[in-house]
Amino acid sequence: MSGTPDALLADAWAGARAAGERAGVEVAEIGGAAFEDTSLLLQRVWRAGHPAEIAAPSLLRTYAHSGNYVAGAYRGERLIGAAVGFFGRDDDGTPHLHSFVAGVEPGGLGKGVGFALKQHQRAWTLARGVPEVHWTYDPLVLRNAYFNLCKLGARAERYLPEFYGALDDGINSGDLSDRLLVVWRLDAPEAVAAAHGRHAGIDAAGTAKLLDRAANGAPADVPDVPGTRLLVAVPTDVEDLRRHDPAAATAWRLAVREAMAGRLAAGWRVAGVSRDGFYLLTKET
């Protein structure tokens, strides 16, 4: 993309401002002394032992200085959310912004702040003529899956087993770091609709379950289910499960990996996720 159509860019900025107003925040690029505040905020979000485990102030300053994305959501004078990204290229040379980390102050989830941050990131990226934002997320965290695929209109395109190796922050410590790679095509109809609050759901009627939840909450065995539309369950609250039953969380990790990794590599796609925690996988014949 050599440039962004004026109408699309104007609409993106208008959507970003509207999202900020609904959430009661102002989203803006960060500079000066705010880098340290941002680093400390991200440390709190991930319950890390030290700010540098997530993003040191010097790293944030370097990203911003070199033209990358470092932005914060402010409610009055108070920083309550932040997002950080840097530019990369696909294998075919297409540029994208890689959204490295984003977080909202503990207690602020579900109030539109994260959506406002991502809409600002979308407009900011389009303003630089870049067509996509990429990031990774834990496929077992249902609220993130629904936010990414439904509320933002992004697509999960690749399953990445043990992408980060061992992580020792307060959220991921002791778990395997499998991730789904998200590609957010910023001019796609789904992204435009999502920016205006029109969120696409999935039609799962009559679709076979490749992975289900057993009566005790454990993952059911992955059966050999035919068809080109299959549902894959995730736990309803994997973060609570990791704290209270790590073995069960690991069982879910391995079951979802078995259900999704090979199929996505073989050309299946994630068509979306339901509010009650089922990914819809589809394959064109």
pLDDT band with cut points at 50, 70 and 90 for residue 156:
very high
**Strand pairing report for 229-233 and 208-211:** parallel
Whole domain around residue 80: which residue ranges? Answer: 6-195
CATH number at 108 reads 3.40.630.30
**What is the distance between the terminal CA atoms of the chain, rounded to a whole angstrom?**
31
Is 153 found in the same domain as 182?
Answer: yes
Asked if residue 202 is part of any domain, the answer here is no
Which one of 195, 227, 255 terminates a domain? 195
As a whole number, mean pLDDT of residues 176-188 equals 95
57: phi then psi, degrees, rounded to nearest 5: -55, -40
- Reported as a single tens digit per residue, the pLDDT across 226-267 is 889 999 999 999 989 988 899 999 999 999 999 999 999 999
Asked if residue 99 is part of any domain, the answer here is yes
Q: How far apart are CA 214 and CA 248, in angstroms?
A: 12
3-state secondary structure of 138: coil
Is 265 found in the same domain as 189?
Answer: no
Is 165 found in the same domain as 276?
Answer: no
Residue partners of 21: CB distance under 8 A and separation at least 6: none
Burial class (CB in 10 A: 0-12, 13-18, 19+), 37: middle
Nearest CA among 179, 191, 208 for reference residue 149? 191
239 in Cβ contact with 141 (< 8 Å)? yes
- Reported as a single tens digit per residue, the pLDDT across 16-58 is 999 999 999 999 999 988 999 999 999 999 888 888 889 999 9
Number of structural domains found in the chain: 2
Is 87 found in the same domain as 181?
Answer: yes
Is 261 found in the same domain as 142?
Answer: no
- Reported as a single tens digit per residue, the pLDDT across 136-146 is 999 999 999 99
Residue partners of 2: CB distance under 8 A and separation at least 6: 129
Is 28 found in the same domain as 53?
Answer: yes
Question: Rounded to two decimals, what is the model's pTM?
Answer: 0.93
123 in Cβ contact with 16 (< 8 Å)? yes
Is 176 found in the same domain as 83?
Answer: yes
Asked if residue 200 is part of any domain, the answer here is no
Q: How far apart are CA 38 and CA 70, in angstroms?
A: 9
Which one of 145, 164, 195 terminates a domain? 195
- Return the percentage of the chain with pLDDT > 70, whole number: 94
Is 109 found in the same domain as 26?
Answer: yes
Is 226 found in the same domain as 115?
Answer: no
71 in Cβ contact with 83 (< 8 Å)? yes
80: phi then psi, degrees, rounded to nearest 5: -120, 0
